[in-house]
A = this chain, B = another copy of it.
Amino acid sequence: MPNLSPSRHDPRLVALGSAIRSLRKQRKLSQEQLAELAGADRSHLGRLERGDNEIAFLLLCRLADALGVTVAQLTNEAGL
Contact = CB atoms under 8 A, between A and B. Distances in A.
Contact of A57 (B54, B64, B72): B54
Question: What class of interface size applies to chain A in its complex with B?
Answer: 20 to 34
A27 B54 CA distance: 28
Nearest to A64: B80
The oligomer's copy count stands at 2
Contacts of A55: 56-57
A13 B80 contact: no
Contacts of A73: 72
A62 to B, nearest CB: 10
A80 B70 contact: yes
Nearest to A6: B58
